[in-house]
Amino acid sequence: MSAAQRGPTRTALVTGASSGIGAAVATALARRGHRVLGTTRDPDALKSRLPGVDYLPLDLTDDASITACAEAAGPVDILLNNA
């Protein structure tokens, strides 16, 4: 399927994108040409980064972290709350 057939590129935010279901969904969205923002508590501690995924720090127990992540992400079309 070509990019034109898939529709417009969208921005996706995937929480918990460092492993498991979150990583699988982030990878699939990136392969489909979307801009993918993955969240993890400590992006610097990631052992490996998924191709096509940019990482943002996010600690869901910290209001300031949530606000900072939302501001850094900007408008989001797709949200997968996996954390």
* 57 close to 69: Cβ distance less than 8 angstroms: yes
Q: What is the pLDDT of residues 19-36, one digit of tens each?
A: 899 999 999 999 999 999
Give residue 60's pLDDT.
93
Q: Taking the model in full, what pTM does it have?
A: 0.84
**Separation CA 42–CA 33 (nearest Å):** 25
